[in-house]
Amino acid sequence: MREHRNRPLTELASMSRQVIATLLSRCGIPDSAVGLTQYFADGDGFTPRTSTVSLDDRPPMITLRPR
């Protein structure tokens, strides 16, 4: 069974971008390959940070640690 841990919203946003891209690719819709830009509070303003999005499928856990 996979372990779940609480994650900050910034990490969840990146994960959700990966999930949506994978879902669409399985429906035959290619991903735009555009990174995810998030805005972080920086003093009185915000600083944009763009990260790449990995679209590699993870193998099912059962294949990594068979019963």
Tens of pLDDT, residues 37-66? 999 999 999 999 998 888 887 788 888 876
Task: Parse the chain into domains and list their residue ranges.
Answer: 1-52
Residues with Cβ within 8 Å of 46's Cβ and at least 6 positions away in sequence, in order, are 39, 40
Q: What is the pLDDT of residue 57?
A: 78
Could you report the per-residue pLDDT of 15-26, keeping only the tens digit for each? 888 889 888 988
Nearest 5°: the CA angle 22, 26, 28 is 115
User: Distance of alpha carbon 57 from its chain centroid, rounded?
Assistant: 11
Q: What is the pLDDT of residue 45?
A: 96
